[in-house]
Amino acid sequence: MSTDVVALLRAELGERVDVDPAALDAARSDKSGHAASGLPLAVVHAASVADVQATLRIASATGTPVVPRGAGTGLAGGANTGGGEISLSVRGMDRVIEVRPDDLLAVVEPGILNADLNALLEPHGVWWAPDPASRAISTVGGNIATGAGGLLCAKYGVVRDAVLGVDLVLADGRLLRLGHRSVKGVTGLDLTSLVIGSEGTLGVVVGATLKLRRLVEGERVTLTALFDGVRAAAVASAGVTASGAQPAVMELMDATSLAAVHRLLSLPAPPPGAAQLTVQTDGPVAAAEARAIADVLRAAGGTVTVAADAAEGEELLAIRRAMHPAMETLGTTLIEDVSVPRSALPDMFDEIARIERQFGLVIPAVAHAGDGNLHPNFVFEGPDVPPVVWDAAEELFRAALALGGTLTGEHGIGVLKRRWLADELGDDQWRLQRDIARVFDPLGILNPGKVFAS
Amino acid sequence: MSTDVVALLRAELGERVDVDPAALDAARSDKSGHAASGLPLAVVHAASVADVQATLRIASATGTPVVPRGAGTGLAGGANTGGGEISLSVRGMDRVIEVRPDDLLAVVEPGILNADLNALLEPHGVWWAPDPASRAISTVGGNIATGAGGLLCAKYGVVRDAVLGVDLVLADGRLLRLGHRSVKGVTGLDLTSLVIGSEGTLGVVVGATLKLRRLVEGERVTLTALFDGVRAAAVASAGVTASGAQPAVMELMDATSLAAVHRLLSLPAPPPGAAQLTVQTDGPVAAAEARAIADVLRAAGGTVTVAADAAEGEELLAIRRAMHPAMETLGTTLIEDVSVPRSALPDMFDEIARIERQFGLVIPAVAHAGDGNLHPNFVFEGPDVPPVVWDAAEELFRAALALGGTLTGEHGIGVLKRRWLADELGDDQWRLQRDIARVFDPLGILNPGKVFAS
């Protein structure tokens, strides 16, 4: 059977069907470190919409599971492909079809990287706002499939706010064009939004009409504020939001994270227990906003340093950006992704401290404090997540839900969180969502075992 | 059978079940002027989520159609209730449950009017941005059900951008809580977005968690620009968008509309054939933006008048706001609602002129020019839309689709546009959308005959 599938794919797609053992092994995992069991049947390197359609027609005819894949930078195992499955890569479909600065839109293929897209858009005076930390290595299609976030979301929105339409190939190979090129449009159900964040369970994203923004004019002002502890920093960040100021970036690093990054970058050690906020303002009133924010942070007990210029500002932000490399020096990392209303940020950090004590773990945490999205990191030895880490993570999810939050702000469910999805949705909504996915994919061949697997 | 249904409703809901002939008749129509045939069985004035659930349980048990209703200000017949159907009004559920300026959210019941909500929010320094022209008389729940737009959308977004979560009662009476209180959240499928604009086909919206904005600080600057004709005005408005300026409001009135309003308001007649743009800027750089926009408009041949102060600015905007009353003085009005990419606005006005000639009609048109949404008005005698008007409207829809647009920007499909929905979606997507609706409502009792009726 599996040989037949590869032969069928080969007959239609020729050399775009890859069975090289290294390629098959690479398709088993993403940046979460988790790997699917078994080797995929093949990796199909689609070069066109027709390639995607052909692959899905063969998959439907043979009942073969298909796992769509971009650059493989996901953090929830959503693109991991295992035994008996086809890995369908759209990474090679990376053209920009159309840029319309006058209509503030661009039409692109899914495989283009965020950073490459914005480099192409800049001469037109426009940009696409979604900026996950992985923006240099993640694809627009992957951003759409996961409903990605990033650092700029409180001011500039998430992926859902930045997509007008999606071209989707269904499980049976049919192509649908969802959404609009106009700012407004309410014809029937908003399937574009439904596809955003659906993690490959509804179809394969083969194109997108993106909503662009004008490049932000004016200066950028960057500042840091050092606090005695993470709770004080969290209270201060909630205070900034409550004050009405709207920073473009507001990142929080707890003491363990800050110390680890300072070690990695050979910077002087921060004061013991100190946590840090890094804030950037932009736009025509950036300087005045930065002054107002600095006042709020000082009043909250922070020691504020304002960057002298843009270059120094980038150095301050580089400390935050070095978080993941710093964690990787400590061991294998499970990056969690809870999100809470912004006023609940201090309480969520209290919960992390409680969970650290309860399970005897150290959980370095950073947060997109401007929008309430936390990334607590579990660091351990070896390739497999130890049971105690999952127990602590479960406690983390419970705490976030109790504070009115969610168990994933921007990484998605994938395989790593599927057993907790019903805890957040409730059984009724969980079943409804699964039944909707079945309308798109009656045979259940699209990314089975992800998101809705019970 | 129908008596049984009313008796069953009465037994559970008592006096909230209304069979007064005037109430039944009022539930047959909305602001479109179109009325359903036959009289509803009853109007249920729900006072609580439990009332809505009880109504839907009885409807499901008896197979009785239910039409959810807010203030009845829709323009597509979506809330019109006919023979054998229950009109389920949530207008009385109008409490604000929670306002959290620190988290920029509010939790509300669906029956509150936009204007009432914003009056309540203002002392907290926040507002809810959706501002359909009907904001003084339309409900938040109705805004959500139709995916409403308004004047401020290019700068401040549509309803879809302003809702974090929705509480939905399903056809069988179960209550689901969809969405998040946090800025970010990607657990499973985005059913909140799916419900927005679903026009009562998926469930009854009984609560919403709204995303708020800070009140905009600084002055507002209003200006008008008079052009020789509507095409010149449309070219100028597209030029404003292409220049990178972002007005809060940019409204276009064609010559017929402008003249009719001037007559209604007893203002001096505008020059024959003259069309007008009305622009408002806001925020910290409002004055500079207004100057830049005035330069663009003058270069495009416009005669610019800048309001001396806020009061004069409101007078200028009042001319645009008097459009619908002015049309009502001319006869019965069918307000159309096509939307196109902003660069296509001049071509769309050319198409309207062509259709006027082709069908021998006068089609006064206004546009939310900042976002490409046009409202051509068909004016006729008597209660029924004449066939020639539907023929001309169909031609209008075709023209909008050919320009990359949509047949409804913000009013929805309801009954009035259901026969053209598949023209835009394609048959495959039309069926998929209908099948998704059936997952929510397997018996087909929710707003049958609307949106997906073929």
Q: How many C-beta neighbours within 10 Å does residue A325 have? A: 12
Secondary structure (DSSP) of B165-215: EEEEE-TTS-EEEEE-SSS---SS--HHHHHTT-TTSS-EEEEEEEEPEEP
Average pLDDT of chain B, as a whole number: 96
- Residue of B182, B217, B348 to mutate for A, most A C-beta atoms under 10 A: B182
pLDDT at A454: 63
- Using the beta-carbon criterion (under 8 Å), do A188 and B284 form an inter-chain contact? no
Q: Are A78 and A421 in contact (CB under 8 A)?
A: no
Q: Is residue A226 part of a domain?
A: yes
- Domains identified in chain A, total number: 3
Tell me the HSE value of A425 on the side-chain side, using a 13 A CA sphere.
26
Rounded Cα gap, residues A219 and A290, in angstroms = 11
> In terms of domains, do A178 and A246 share one?
no
Binned at pLDDT 50, 70 and 90, residue B56 comes out as very high
| Closest in A244, A406, A432 to B214, CB measured | A244
Residues B86, B41: contact at Cβ < 8 Å?
yes
B413 inside domain = no
The order of strands in the sheet holding B96-100 is B96-100, B105-108, B204-211, B163-169, B175-179
**Chain B (104-123) residues lying within 8 Å, Cβ to Cβ, of chain A:** 104-105
Distance from the B77 Cα atom to the nearest Cα atom in chain A, whole angstroms: 14
Identity of residue A34: H
Mean pLDDT value across residues B153-158: 93
ipTM: 0.96
pLDDT for residue B2 is more than 60 = no
Please report whether residue B67 resides in a domain. Answer: yes
Residues of A in contact with B188 (CB under 8 A): 197, 413, 421, 425, 429-430, 433, 451-452
SS3 call for A248: coil
Q: Residue A294, SS3?
A: helix
A67 touches chain B (CB under 8 A): no
Q: Both A176 and A204 in a single domain?
A: yes
- Please check whether residues B174 and B263 belong to one and the same domain: no
| Rounded mean pLDDT, B236-255 | 95
A121 with A205, same domain: the answer is yes
| Average pLDDT along chain A, 454 residues, taken 10 residues at a time | 84 98 98 94 98 98 98 96 98 98 97 98 97 93 96 93 98 98 95 98 98 93 97 96 93 97 96 97 94 98 96 94 90 94 97 97 96 96 91 97 96 96 97 98 97 84
- B195 part of a folded domain: yes
For A425, the 3-state DSSP assignment is: helix
- Tell me the nearest-neighbour CA distance from B399 into chain A, angstroms: 14
One domain for residues A54 and A107: no
The yes-or-no verdict on residue B175 having pLDDT over 90 is yes
In this structure, is residue A427 part of a structural domain? Answer: no
DSSP A34-79: -B-SS--SEEEE--SHHHHHHHHHHHHHHT--EEEESSS--SSSTT
Mutate to test the interface with A, among B186, B237, B348, B450 (most CBs of A within 10 A): B186
A239 and A204 in one domain?
no
> Which pLDDT score is estimated for B375?
97
Chain A within 8 Å of B330 (Cβ-Cβ)?
A: no
What's the pLDDT score for residue B412?
97
Position A168 scores a pLDDT of: 98
Asked if B451 is an interface residue toward chain A (Cβ–Cβ < 8 A), one would say yes
C-alpha B6: how far from chain center: 32
Domain end marker among A402, A425, A442: A402
Question: Is residue A372 domain-shared with residue A258, that is, in the same domain?
Answer: yes
- Out of A184, A241, A421, name the one closest to residue B188 (CB): A421
- Helix A286-299 to helix A230-243 angle, to the nearest 10 degrees? 130
Report chain B residues whose CB lies below 8 A from the CB of A211: none
CA distances in angstroms from B177 to A108, A427, B103, listed in the order given: 34, 11, 19
Give the SS3 label for residue A88.
Answer: strand
Q: Looking at the domain assignment, is residue B446 inside a domain?
A: no
Domain containing residue A155: CATH number: 3.30.465.10
Residues B100 and B84 grouped into a single domain: no
**Residue B3 pLDDT > 70:** no
Compute the CA torsion angle A107, B183, A416, A431 (nearest 10 deg): -90
Of A153, A185, A214, the last residue of a domain is A214
Asked if A412 is an interface residue toward chain B (Cβ–Cβ < 8 A), one would say yes
pLDDT of residue A363: 97
pLDDT digits (tens, 9 = 90+) for B377-435: 999 988 889 999 999 999 999 999 999 999 999 999 999 999 999 999 999 999 999 99
Residue B182 included in any domain: yes
Taking only the tens place, the pLDDT of each residue in B329-350 is 988 899 999 999 999 999 999 9
Residues B268 and B360 in one domain: yes
pLDDT at B454 (0 to 100): 63
For residue A29, the enclosing domain spans: 2-89
Residue B84 has pLDDT above 70, yes or no: yes
Do residues B186 and A410 lie in contact, with contact meaning Cβ atoms separated by under 8 Å?
A: yes
Distance CA A413, CA A402 (A): 19
Q: Do A289 and A391 share a domain, yes or no? A: yes
The pLDDT tens digits of the residues spanning B131-150 come to 998 899 999 999 999 999 98
Are B110 and B163 members of one domain? yes
Alpha carbon of B341: minimum distance to chain A alpha carbons (Å)? 4
How many angstroms separate the CA atoms of B87 and A19, rounded?
A: 60
CATH code for the domain in which residue A353 is found: 3.40.462.40
- Residue B70 belongs to a domain with what CATH number? 3.30.43.10
- Asked whether the beta carbons of residue B176 and residue A429 sit closer than 8 angstroms, the reply is yes
**B447 contact residues in A (CB cutoff 8 A):** none
Is the domain of B180 the same as that of B280? no
**Quick check: is A52 in a domain?**
yes
Q: Which of A142, A135, A90, A92 is nearest to A117 (CA)?
A: A135
The last residue of one of the domains, among B63, B89, B115, is B89
The end-to-end CA distance of chain B, in Å, is: 27
